[in-house]
A = this chain, B = another copy of it.
Amino acid sequence: MSERSNIRDVAERAGVAVKTVSRLLNGHPYVRAETREKIERAMKELDFRPSVAARILSGAKSNQVALIYDNHSPYYMFQIQTGCWDACKAQGIRLIAQPIDIDDPDVGEQVRGLVMETHVDGIILSSPVTDCAPVLKMLDALDTPFVRISPGTNHALTSSVFMDDAQAADDMTSLLINKGHRRIGFIKGHPNHMASDERLFGYRRALDRAGIAFEPGLVRDGEFDVESGIRAGGELLDLPNPPTAIFASNDDMAAGVLAVAHERDIDVPHDLSVVGFDDTPLARTVYPPLTTIHQPMAELARTATEILVSGGDINHQRLPHQLIERASVAPPKGYE
């Protein structure tokens, strides 16, 4: 194994002072092109890699950021991680992805541990950690910069990136209304997620605007998983006067509704329209493919990371969503 070489070896080999190498490493001005080349050659020859630990210890930035999450949707997390990683890679930053349990009474301490032990420069919070008070409080106390992806609550002092969940739900509901639906079932998302409320809000707003009375019986609780979709879908279809369309707050639950429909031999979309939210791969996998809202998860994560790393001013950025029409929607039966 090649011996680990340090900055002193590089300096020696290049015939310069250690400090000069350090300057180059940190992109300081005042390094002649000629010197730079000498040093770079030496670094290459020695396979030199600066130790993050040493840099941290001597007071520099760690060039590490952490992504904290507590989300049990594999696809969502995959997209979020991917977005963060892309941004980090482009900036030469190391990403530490850290799952936590927001219901653990000890979350705050865990976050403190993460920050103090790893010396991360900043933190990206993904939903629903974005609204976990102990974490927010700790981060404030620690004076660690952070940015939030799709937060549900305001926190004026930090940046965030998000999409307009209410508007998206409104768009989707309006689509259904335009197709002729009047009885539209709605399955709520997990209560931990603020987006759940937003989506419900958008659904109601679209209904209001169209002059359709809101009917509480058409709204069911869900938890963002297939099982709750099956349960809620079953309940809605059991209604004496069942809805002609069901809007599930995410694709997984919509898939659950589809499964129920299949079992009961209800033809989707002709006997029942079903729509989801998120545009996960599932939406294109199930039959029929789901009309859904494309949530730009990876872009949100990428943008959040860029904001964090750039360290600029507080920034609240809205990214656009997209309504994806597939084959799970049709006009209700008997509609002209």
Chain A residues engaging chain B, CB cutoff 8 angstroms:
1-2, 4, 47, 49-54, 56-57, 62, 74-75, 77-79, 81-82, 85, 94, 96-97, 99, 112-113, 116-119, 141-143, 226, 252, 255-256, 258-259, 262-263, 281-282, 284-288
Q: A62, A79, A113, A286: which has the most chain B beta carbons within 10 Å?
A: A286
Taking a contact as CB atoms closer than 8 A, the residue among B79, B113, B141, B143 that contacts A49 in the complex is B113
Please report whether the interface of chain A is mostly helix, strand, loop or mixed according to DSSP: helix
Contacts of A263 in B (CB 8 A): 287
Contacts of A82 in B (CB 8 A): 99
Q: Tell me the complex Cα distance, A291–B24, Å.
A: 59
Q: Tell me the complex Cα distance, A270–B284, Å.
A: 24
Contacts of A94 in B (CB 8 A): 96, 117-118
Are A112 and B47 neighbours in the complex by a CB distance under 8 Å?
A: yes
Contacts of A52 in B (CB 8 A): 53, 117-119
Query: Which chain B residue lies CB-closest to A140?
Result: B1
Taking a contact as CB atoms closer than 8 A, the residue among B4, B96, B252, B259 that contacts A116 in the complex is B4
How close is A286's CB to chain B, nearest CB, in angstroms? 6
Are A2 and B259 neighbours in the complex by a CB distance under 8 Å?
A: no
Given A52-B118, A53-B57, A82-B99, output 4 extra A-B contacts at Cβ < 8 Å: A51-B119, A74-B78, A252-B285, A255-B286
Taking a contact as CB atoms closer than 8 A, the residue among B49, B74, B75, B258 that contacts A112 in the complex is B49
Are A2 and B141 neighbours in the complex by a CB distance under 8 Å?
A: yes
